[in-house]
């Protein structure tokens, strides 16, 4: 009615009631979404700020784009399907595509030991490495001081207290307390006593590594100590010329000039041990095939990688299938118990099993029980001979892998269509004819994708190789730490320097990309071929 008062049925709702109803309609779901999106935006802005500080413009742009896309998707009413697709796409971009792009970026550089920073960082490191105690320089009674996580030195120079740290040159501290020739109290600092220093080895190393500049002029040197009680002035024997980009050894007069490959090199070809990171293009990919230290081992390791992956898959699949066929016969008693026993190796952690087999295959009679119990005590060097080591790896991996295929093939056999098998029997096909012409193709339909996945897994089966042989025995015709049983993934691990030694992340990343491409291409081609198996249905 036209004259109905507000709040009466049929009259127009007042503004407050409409507002309350809209909030009730939104519900707690909207509040939770708002809080979650606030958290997403906070994390995104934090990453953007960090990328801006570090100068990582690609990460900055990508994070901004993802954050803006998330806001649009979850606050728009027109993008309902995207609300479900966006999380998966975001994780794909972050954890797959970004990782691949970053690996490719590293592969295009010389990043590694001695080349992991900027040119200025390399110069600073070289200047520090070449510091020597100044002849006839006075020794100062030294007091070690600490403020939170910062260490410093306090010395007495001509009766005046001087305090400084690695970031702050020595400066006068009139309020410090001097007792004889040593400082005992420094305002704002805690004095580290001798007992505390002797009881903490980590602190001792930090003190020995500490350099406190004498002044703002780097040429004046810095205070260092050898034993924590007295300090003296050290100066670098290298002189840095930023205009010419050269480092000159003041003792020998040799000049080291900056090169495009990120090194300081003298005219006679000698180079300083620390360089900086630069882009080298596809040099790492070329070096993997041409460098004498890697080219020969690379092709041998590649051949063994394919052989290892193929032999492992074939032997474990055939053994698992054979066992599944045998124990699928209902006439066998105790099938459940026997099946449980056969899958026990699959339940053991692979790295632990490999270590146990390593001990059992050792030629030492004290703990090499394979030789002692089964080969009449013969001293067979299973892990020291190239061919025996490869045979041992295939055998141990067969023991670890066949239970998986035993389970898979058992399930596949039990799911075979009975009408096909019954039709074969009606047509007069015997057991052998059924097995050779019908059962394997039907099995391959369900197991072929798993076979491909198993090949890809064993192509990069780091655990069994490293835990059993560590890639040994070593090649004798190269200085690279590589061996006869290394596969590509363990070769990359050795080159990366994670296990110790000199790291070459650029070359390791280049080889990782090659492995990815090889596995990807083989998997794609094989998946296309396996589709033909479905035609028999």
Is 196 part of any domain? yes
Instruction: Give the chain's radius of gyration (CA, Å).
Output: 35
Is 453 part of any domain? yes
Model pLDDT, residue 3: 46
Rounded distance, CA 414 to CA 303, Å? Answer: 37
Rounded distance, CA 396 to CA 390, Å? Answer: 10
User: Residues 446, 314: one domain?
Assistant: yes
Domain harbouring 182, CATH code: 2.40.430
Is 252 part of any domain? no
User: Residues 374, 429: one domain?
Assistant: yes
pLDDT-flagged residues of the chain (< 50): 1-9, 18-23, 25, 536-537
Q: Residue 398: what are its φ and ψ, rounded to 5°?
A: -65, -45
Question: Residue 208: how many CA atoms within 13 Å on its side-chain side?
Answer: 10
Is 6 part of any domain? no
471 near 486, Cβ under 8 Å?
yes
Residue range of the domain that includes 142? 132-236
406 near 344, Cβ under 8 Å?
no
Rounded distance, CA 158 to CA 178, Å? Answer: 12
User: Residues 136, 99: one domain?
Assistant: no
What digits encode the pLDDT tens for the residues 76-115? 877 778 888 899 999 988 888 898 999 999 999 999 988 9
Is 363 part of any domain? yes
219 near 213, Cβ under 8 Å?
no
- Among 211, 236, 261, give the residue marking a domain's end: 236
Is 1 part of any domain? no
| Cis before 473? omega within 30 | yes
Is 266 part of any domain? no
Q: Count of domains in the chain?
A: 3
Alpha helices in 174-332 (DSSP H): 194-199, 201-209, 283-290, 295-326
Rounded distance, CA 498 to CA 282, Å? Answer: 23
Domain harbouring 440, CATH code: 1.10.3720.10
The partner residues of 74 in beta bridges, in order of sequence, read none
User: Residues 454, 354: one domain?
Assistant: yes
User: Residues 444, 525: one domain?
Assistant: yes
pTM for this entry: 0.78
The partner residues of 248 in beta bridges, in order of sequence, read 239, 255
Judge residue 366's burial from the number of C-beta atoms within 10 Å of its C-beta, 0-12 exposed, 13-18 middle, 19 or more buried.
Answer: exposed
298 near 477, Cβ under 8 Å?
no
What digits encode the pLDDT tens for the residues 251-281? 899 999 999 999 999 999 999 999 999 999 9
Domain harbouring 60, CATH code: 1.20.58
User: Residues 321, 417: one domain?
Assistant: yes
Question: Quick check: helix, strand or coil at residue 240?
Answer: strand
User: Residues 522, 478: one domain?
Assistant: yes
Question: Over the range 408-432, which residues count as b (16 or more CB within 10 Å of their CB) and which as e?
Answer: bbbebbeebeeeeeeebeeeebeee
Rounded distance, CA 10 to CA 417, Å? Answer: 67
* Residues of the chain above pLDDT 70, percent: 93
Is 249 part of any domain? no
User: Residues 406, 524: one domain?
Assistant: yes
Helices (H) and strands (E) in the chain, counts: 20, 15
User: Residues 337, 464: one domain?
Assistant: yes
CA trace torsion 85, 88, 93, 97 (10° rounding): -120
- What are the strands, taking DSSP E only, across 250-400? 255-258, 264-265
Handedness of CA 189, 194, 198, 204 (dihedral sign): positive
User: Residues 366, 453: one domain?
Assistant: yes
Residue 23, C-beta contacts closer than 8 angstroms, at least 6 positions apart: none
Rounded distance, CA 161 to CA 175, Å? Answer: 8
Instruction: Tell which residue, 536, 522, 529, has the closest CA to residue 424.
Output: 536
User: Residues 223, 303: one domain?
Assistant: no
Model pLDDT, residue 527: 76
Angle at 279 between CA 273 and CA 283, to 5 degrees: 85
- Among 217, 236, 255, give the residue marking a domain's end: 236
């Amino acid at each position: 009615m036209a004259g109905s008062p507000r709040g009466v049925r049929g009259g127009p709702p007042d503004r407050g009631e409409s507002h309350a109803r809209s909030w009730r309609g939104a519900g707690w779901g909207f509040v939770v979404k708002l809080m979650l999106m606030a958290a997403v935006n906070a994390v995104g802005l934090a990453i953007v700020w960090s990328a801006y500080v570090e100068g990582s413009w690609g990460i900055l742009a990508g994070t901004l784009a993802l954050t803006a896309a998330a806001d649009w998707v979850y606050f728009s009413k027109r993008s309902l399907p995207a609300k479900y697709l966006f999380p998966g796409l975001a994780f794909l971009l972050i954890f797959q595509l970004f990782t691949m792009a970053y690996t490719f970026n590293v592969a295009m550089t010389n990043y590694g030991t001695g080349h992991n920073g900027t040119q200025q960082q390399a110069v600073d490191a070289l200047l520090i490495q070449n510091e020597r105690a100044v002849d006839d320089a006075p020794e100062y009674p030294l007091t070690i001081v600490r403020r939170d996580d910062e260490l410093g030195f306090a010395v007495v120079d001509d009766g005046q207290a001087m305090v400084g740290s690695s970031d702050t040159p020595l400066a006068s501290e009139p309020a410090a307390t001097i007792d004889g020739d040593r400082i005992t109290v420094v305002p704002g600092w805690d004095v580290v006593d001798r007992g505390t220093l002797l009881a903490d080895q980590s602190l001792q190393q930090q003190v020995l590594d500490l350099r406190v500049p004498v002044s703002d002029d780097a040429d004046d040197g810095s205070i260092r100590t050898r034993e924590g009680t007295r300090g003296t002035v050290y100066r670098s024997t290298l002189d840095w010329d930023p205009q010419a980009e050269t480092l000159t050894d003041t003792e020998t007069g040799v000049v080291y000039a900056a090169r495009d490959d990120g090194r300081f090199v003298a005219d006679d070809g000698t180079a300083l041990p620390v360089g900086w990171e630069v882009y080298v293009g596809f040099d790492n990919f070329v070096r993997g095939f041409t460098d004498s230290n890697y080219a020969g081992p690379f092709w041998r390791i590649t051949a063994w990688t394919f052989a290892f992956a193929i032999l492992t898959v074939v032997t474990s699949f055939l053994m698992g299938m054979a066992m599944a066929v045998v124990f699928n016969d209902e006439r066998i008693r105790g099938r459940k118990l026997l099946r449980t026993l056969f899958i026990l190796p699959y339940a053991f952690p692979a790295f632990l099993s490999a270590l146990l087999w390593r001990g059992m295959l050792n030629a030492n009679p004290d703990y090499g029980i394979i030789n002692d119990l089964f080969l009449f005590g013969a001293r067979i060097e299973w892990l020291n001979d190239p061919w025996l080591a490869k045979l041992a790896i295939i055998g141990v991996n067969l023991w670890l892998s066949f239970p998986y295929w035993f389970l898979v093939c058992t399930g596949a056999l039990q799911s075979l269509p009975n009408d096909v098998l019954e039709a074969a029997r009606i047509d007069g096909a015997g057991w052998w004819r059924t097995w050779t012409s019908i059962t394997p193709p039907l099995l391959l339909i369900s197991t072929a994708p798993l076979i491909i996945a198993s090949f890809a897994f064993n192509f990069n089966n780091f655990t069994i190789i490293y835990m059993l042989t560590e890639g040994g025995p070593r090649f004798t015709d190269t200085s690279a730490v590589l061996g006869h049983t290394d596969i590509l993934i363990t070769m990359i691990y050795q080159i990366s320097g994670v296990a110790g030694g000199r790291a070459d992340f650029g070359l390791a990343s280049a080889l990782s990309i090659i492995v990815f491409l090889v596995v990807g291409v083989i998997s794609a081609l094989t998946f296309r071929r396996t589709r033909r198996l479905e035609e028999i249905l």
